[in-house]
Amino acid sequence: MSTTDPHSSSGPRRATRDGHRDNRPARRSDHEAARRGDAPGRGEGSRPGRAAARAGDAVQPARRVAFDVLTAVRHDDAYANLLLPTAIRRAGLNTADAGLATELCYGSLRMRGYYDRVIELASGRPVGEIDEAILDVLRLGVHQLLATRVASHAAVNESVSLAREVGSRSATGFVNGVLRGITRTEPEVWREKVAAAASGEDDRLSALYSHPTWIVRALRQALRAEGRVEELEELLAADNIAPAVTYIALPGQAERPAEGEPTAYSPLGFHLGGGDPEAVIRAARGLIRVQDEGSQLAALALSRARAVTPGESWQDLCAGPGGKAVLLGAEALASGATLVANEVVPARAELVRKALAVLPEPIEVREGDARIWGELYPHSADRILVDAPCTGLGALRRRPEARWRKTAKDLADLGVIQADLFQSALGALRPGGILAYVTCSPHIAETRGVVSEGLRRHPEIELLDTVGILESLTDSPLDLGEGLRHGSGSTVQLWPHRHGTDAMFIALLHRPA
């Protein structure tokens, strides 16, 4: 959620001479425009009227949509995957233009770090000195020049037109000069230039694969713990590839379409050849949904860890936005169990209610702090899911802006929350019950670190053989590294480069009866 003060000086900046950043506070109208998704900087200092008056200067709609989404991501902490589909619909883009807008938006966000290195080399100017709106224009332009089949002259001309709308005349010339300079060097040569300018191996990987250095180091550490550190570059590359759309047919409520291609691991997942996912979801009244295979497996590991006794009580303590909750709800209805979903953020709780509303029987949704759940409802559940808040490093393919929002400093605060949730969930777990601790992150501090500390503090708790349980759900063997082991128990770490899923961590724990 955005914490931006609309009257602060942290919003859009006006372009000044040659695209330099103007550190004066943006006008209130600029902030309001950014919240609406309009272009920032429409006023004195920008010339939309003159641009519109010139024949051929109108910005192509797909590029305008991509730019507006980048603005909202940068200024309002918006999520591209939530905002972009709405922006495309409102603009009335056809299929081809919608595809272009999607490619430009996600491509620019994923490769922002690399493109910034190219822009600095081409302009001779640190990106921190370039007006933010003009920098977004340049990133869009560089993505078209270095990573798409868009003709160079079209990429440059459209970028110049966009700069004319959101910046000054000198900023427009700056964009033209930088992009034309980039066209004079082949993409592979730019990679060589960026690599040569790096200050070391971590910086080289950070630059070429567009990941902050702290994430590069964290992923290396996680792979090293599995004995497979040589896979680091393959993992970084996988984070920059758009994931295939994966669907799930809710068990007991819908069937996989005949044309659906089953996924490798989840017994409920499938892929379709193409088409609009929203149309598929609407046609199935929400009983077929889009859900990453790793998320499917995280929920199914809990619901299918053992046979269900009718009357069991299940709890999802961090249920927002509801993807795993609706799968657990369907599984509960099919097996005679009951589910309570909890979410601390009211807006996310509403998303959970909306997700669960597709089921034929109501599921209770509560709003509360799950860190005190064990005190409020001691020994109340037979199965509990803790899908803990985390850095989200496992979902960088689908949420590319996340890599630029989190920092290593965030880990300390998240670690306290994760440990508190783990402790609270154990307090709510009945004797004989099962806890699934899940994060969409491979970071050791958020995964095996939390589980190891929890087991140390609670020697009576057992780690189940999560590997064996997941392998029992699928016909495909899981290619896993050396996961955390405790007694006969084990944890599972999924990976985008190895499994084609988000990097989901799953640990199943048991309180003996």
Which candidate in 105, 318, 390, 440 is catalytic? Answer: 440
Residues 6+ apart with CB under 8 A from 269: 246, 247, 248, 262, 263, 291, 293, 296
Q: Tell which residue, 66, 6, 61, 58, has the closest CA to residue 30.
A: 6
Of residues 315, 306, 324, the one with CA closest to residue 248: 324
Q: Where are the alpha helices (DSSP H) in 304-345?
A: 323-335
Q: What letter does residue 130 receive in the DSSP assignment?
A: B
User: What CA–CA distance (Å, rounded) separates 130 from 13?
Assistant: 10
Q: Could you confirm whether 440 is annotated as catalytic?
A: yes
Q: Give the chain's radius of gyration (CA, Å).
A: 24
Dihedral angle of Cα 131, 133, 135, 138, to the nearest 10 degrees? -140
Contact 439, 418 (CB under 8 A): yes
The C-alpha atoms of residue 145 and residue 178 are separated, in whole angstroms, by 12
Element (H, E) at 314: strand 313-316
> Going edge to edge, which strands form the sheet with 247-249?
261-262, 269-271, 247-249, 288-290
Helix axes 169-183, 152-166, angle to 10 degrees: 160
CA distance 239 to 354: 30
Contact 139, 108 (CB under 8 A): yes
Q: In terms of DSSP H, where are the helices of 168-292? A: 169-183, 187-197, 201-209, 213-225, 232-238, 277-283
Amino acid at 78: A
Token readout for 468 is 């064996």
DSSP 387: E
| Region for 286 from its dihedrals, namely left if φ exceeds 0, alpha if ψ lies in -120 to 50, beta otherwise | left
Question: In a 10 Å sphere around its CB, with 0-12 CB exposed, 13-18 middle and 19+ buried, how is residue 183 labelled?
Answer: middle
Largest CA distance in the chain: 77
Angle between helical axes of 112-123 and 187-197 (0-180°, round to 10):
90
Please report, for the chain, how many H helices and E strands are present, in that order: 23, 14
Q: What angle do CA 161, 78, 234 make, to 5 degrees?
A: 90
Q: Which residues are annotated as catalytic?
A: 440
